[in-house]
Amino acid sequence: MKRRVVVTGMEAVTGLGNNLETTWDGLIEGKSSVRDLSEYLYDWCRSRIGCKPKGWKLGPNILTEKDEEISDIVALYAIDAAARTWRFHEWENNKLYNYDPHRIGVILGNGSGGMASARKIHNRMQEKLGAKIGPYLLVGYLGNCIAGKVSILLGAKGINYTLQSACASGTHAIQMAYNEIAYGKQDVMITGGCESTIYDECLDPFYNGKAITNNNDPETQPRPFDKNRSGFVAGEGSGILILEEYEAAKARGATIYAEIVGHGATADAYHIIIPDKEGHGLAKCMELAIEDANISPDDIGYINAHGTATKRGDVAESLAIQKVFGDYKVPVSSTKGAIGHLLGGAGGIEAIFSIMALYKGILPPTLNCDDPGFDLDIVRYKGREADIKYSMSNSAGFGGSNGVLIFKKV
């Protein structure tokens, strides 16, 4: 029999704020973090806007100055959020809860690894043929070392890896972390996603593929589910969750934000970049998650959509939602309008938003959706109060990867 798995900690770093509280408040108020990022980009990069944490720096007393210096920024985003939620819930050094550290694991999602470290390696090789590349630059580039650094920081000696499945990475990481606890192999998991991709060599290929918007006006972009959408806007940051077995969390009087009750994963098996135009893969994924949760579609009170504002992606997801929910108009929003698309880290922060919708009784809005082009109940402009029992978070990535999570109010 599966054990129940609950969320007992959450933290975030986003363009809207350097913690979850500021991020959530800005999101509900309808604020956007999209801004001109030319200061970070070469003149030849045609994508000029994005959502980068502003004034962010690693929290105090987390890493030594040397450790921070040799860590890629993508790892620092994850480390910061993980350390703050761990300390907030008094898990530091595992003093209060007597868990076996070998049953505390870390599974994170990331799409691109440490791009800052990769750029440094490239630049050194360009400057001098045969230049020596130190080992810390190498591990800064390797995606699995993101989870490794978090485990070292928190003393988590259980399962440890970083999962990469493009823009579904964060969601898949949470699914795998859930399974570790549900099937009794771990008791506590640190999970979620992180990403840092505001680099010319990442943005320009997306621009060329018409995935990123060609409109560099930060006041009007991106436009999820709008008739005039033209592509996503890149975002950076992290969304980290602590999962715990329900009975143990209840016994120690933990704050329980939500329970994970269902998840699904599928492949479109259609095209390496383009989603299935009819949305069959994502529709099946939602159906599997609903079946896993042992509920009906009309029990879902809110969907945090993948909603990238791409021409084809929004069509596929809209059709998928209509296939699964039929005449029931479930409220839907895409929070990428406010924080951009964190790519491999998107599933982590969007899972947190889906949980906060349950916990706070407010559905986050979709920005810049002035002329909806789909037959959906889109939450627009500002948050909508709603007392709901279940929420759903959708993710879809290059390669045809789909992931869905369902959360229940506790």
pLDDT tens digits in sequence order for the chain, 410 residues long: 899 999 999 999 999 999 999 999 999 999 999 999 999 999 999 999 999 999 999 998 899 999 999 999 999 999 999 999 987 665 554 444 678 999 999 999 999 999 999 988 888 888 887 778 888 888 898 999 999 999 999 999 999 999 999 999 999 999 999 999 999 999 999 999 999 999 999 999 999 999 999 999 999 999 999 999 999 999 999 999 999 999 999 988 889 999 999 999 999 999 999 999 999 999 999 999 999 999 999 999 999 999 999 999 999 999 999 999 999 999 999 999 999 999 999 999 999 999 999 999 999 999 999 999 999 999 999 999 999 999 999 999 999 999 999 999 99
| DSSP string computed for 251-299 | HTT----EEEEEEEEEE--S-SSSPPTT-HHHHHHHHHHHHHHT--GGG
Place of tokens 């009309």: 298
Cα separation, 212 vs 125, whole angstroms: 29
Tokens standing for 246? 């329900």
Cα separation, 47 vs 192, whole angstroms: 27
Bridge-based pairing state of the strands 49-50 and 35-36 = antiparallel
Q: Does a cis peptide bond (omega within 30 degrees of 0) precede residue 365?
A: no
Which amino acid does the sequence have at 306?
A: H
- Among 51, 285, 306, 369, which one carries the catalytic annotation? 306
Cα separations in angstroms, 300 against 100, 262, 364 = 36, 12, 15
- Among 167, 194, 202, 369, which one carries the catalytic annotation? 167
| DSSP string computed for 41-89 | S-TT-S--EEB--SS--PPTTSS-HHHHHTS-HHHHHHHHHHHHHHHHT
Neighbours of 345 (CB within 10 A): 35
- Among 89, 172, 280, 341, which one carries the catalytic annotation? 341
Quote the pLDDT of residue 88. 67
Per the annotation, the verdict on 285 as an active-site residue is no
Closest to 337 measured CA to CA, from 210, 219, 167: 219
Can you say how many angstroms the Cα of residue 29 is from the centroid of all Cα atoms in its chain?
Answer: 20
Cα separation, 285 vs 371, whole angstroms: 28
DSSP class of residue 202?
Answer: H
131 Cβ neighbours under 8 A, 6+ residues apart: 124, 125
Per the annotation, the verdict on 172 as an active-site residue is no
Strand ranges in 103-249 using DSSP code E only, listed in sequence order: 104-109, 160-163, 188-195, 237-245
Q: What is the pTM of this model?
A: 0.97
Tokens standing for 262? 């269902």
Per the annotation, the verdict on 263 as an active-site residue is no
Quote the pLDDT of residue 217. 98
